[in-house]
Amino acid sequence: MPQISNESVLSALKNVYDPDLHKDIVTLKMVKDVKISGEDIDITVELTTPACPLKDKIKDDCVNEIKKQIPSAKKINVNMTANVRSNLDDRKSSILPNVKNTIAVASGKGGVGKSTIAVNLAIALAQQGASVGLIDADIYGPSIPLMVGIQEKPRIFQDTATMKMVPLENCGIKIMSIGFLIDDDAPVIWRGPMASGAIKQFMSDVHWGEIDYLIFDLPPGTGDIQLTLVQTIPLTGAVIVTTPQNVSLIDVKKAIKMFQRVNVPILGIVENMSYFIAPDTNKKYDIFGTGGGEKLANDLSIKLLGAVPINAKIREGGDKGSPIVVESPETEEAKRIIDISKNLAAEISINTLSDKTPKVEILLGD
């Protein structure tokens, strides 16, 4: 029996493909280490995100291919690690130098649960090992402080020649919101340029540190804040939140068109309040209609990241500062959100590695 070698192991692993990226893990440089001790093999595979939805499949495929091509191998150990790839751009790097990816969570209209999805997505990504930041970009109606249960104000420190704020932390994520800086009952009576200026400060004047995913919870619609964001930094992409009914879908199309016109990739659609399951009978009710998000995704050739049912626990968790993926991770709703976070991470990896994200500066009219 020929001796096991690094070359024979790598040859076997060339048959293991990342189903999302459509290339083998050797070509993708995901195999980081191969150790051979007699007939035992130990390899390290570095995924493009800790939230990879195909982690277990890739691991099993590695073991199966090595067994198939190297019958003499006895103990095969596959260590799975992750390193989120960065969406490189000079403009982003100058403002957010240690942030790898920037994602906008948007909607065409209010009342679709966009902030709830943004908060739970951020926490779900962090629960799987990613470093995550969340910016509450809804200056006029900041709800994130309540939803994550934070009441204190951010600390300010001297960073070289400038003063910077330290984002507050809870549920494993770093968070910044105008709600941390004003009283709960104080309205934000600002014109558009002032609100836009606050968003710029949340990027440039906050010490974010190393972040894999920085999520922006945008206000509804297609106004000043959205335009400021895409003018200031090139976004990795946008997630669009909708509900199934037609009145929501009409407005969602406008939000999608806005991002497409400024060359921001649409990473996918999330259908919130998709259906209701009666707790006493387990019967499913399509309160707001059915299939709207899926039809929209198919019509526009955009990925449907997933659908989240209605559950009073989602509202209760947001009201008491303990989102459902923290409070009740065993529920179907929490599991759906976790699956959506994995699908989102996969889409970001696909866009980053295929170089789909535009690197050109977007110039908009006044």
User: DSSP letters along 84-132, please?
Assistant: PPP---HHHHHHSTTEEEEEEEE-SSSSS-HHHHHHHHHHHHHHTT--E
Mark whether 198 and 321 lie in a shared domain. Answer: yes
Q: How far apart are CA 112 and CA 244, in angstroms?
A: 10
In a domain, 343, yes or no: yes
The pair of structure tokens assigned to 122 is 């951020």
359 located within any domain: no
pLDDT at 31 over 80: yes
**74/116 same-domain check:** no
> What domain range includes position 269?
90-353
- CATH code at 32? 3.30.300.130
Note whether 70 and 12 are within 8 A (CB): yes
29 and 95 within one domain = no
Q: Is residue 151 part of a domain?
A: yes
In a domain, 363, yes or no: no
Percent of the chain past pLDDT 90, that is, above it, reads 58
Is the domain of 73 the same as that of 97? no
Looking at the structure, tell me whether residues 143 and 37 fall in a common domain: no
The average pLDDT across 43-72 equals 94
What's the pLDDT at 185? 67
| Torsion angle defined by CA atoms of residues 122, 125, 126 and 129, in that order, rounded to the nearest 10 degrees | -170
Kindly state whether residues 163 and 72 are assigned to the same domain.
Answer: no
Is the pLDDT confidence value at 46 over 50?
yes
Query: CATH number for the domain including 137?
Result: 3.40.50.300
- Predicted pLDDT at 233: 85
Segment 143-198, tens digit of pLDDT: 999 999 998 999 988 777 778 999 999 999 999 999 898 776 666 777 777 888 88
Whether residues 64 and 125 fall in one domain: no
**Residue 363 pLDDT > 50:** no
Q: Would you say residue 356 has pLDDT above 50?
A: no
Say yes or no: 198 and 327 in one domain.
yes
264 and 217 in a common domain: yes
Question: In this structure, is residue 147 part of a structural domain?
Answer: yes
141 shares a domain with 69: no
Q: Is residue 1 part of a domain?
A: no
Are residues 102 and 19 part of one domain?
no
Can you give the pLDDT at residue 1? 53
Q: CA–CA separation, 308 vs 336, rounded Å?
A: 6
Last residue of a domain, one of 18, 51, 82: 82
Query: Total domain count for the chain?
Result: 2
Do 35 and 149 fall into the same domain?
Answer: no
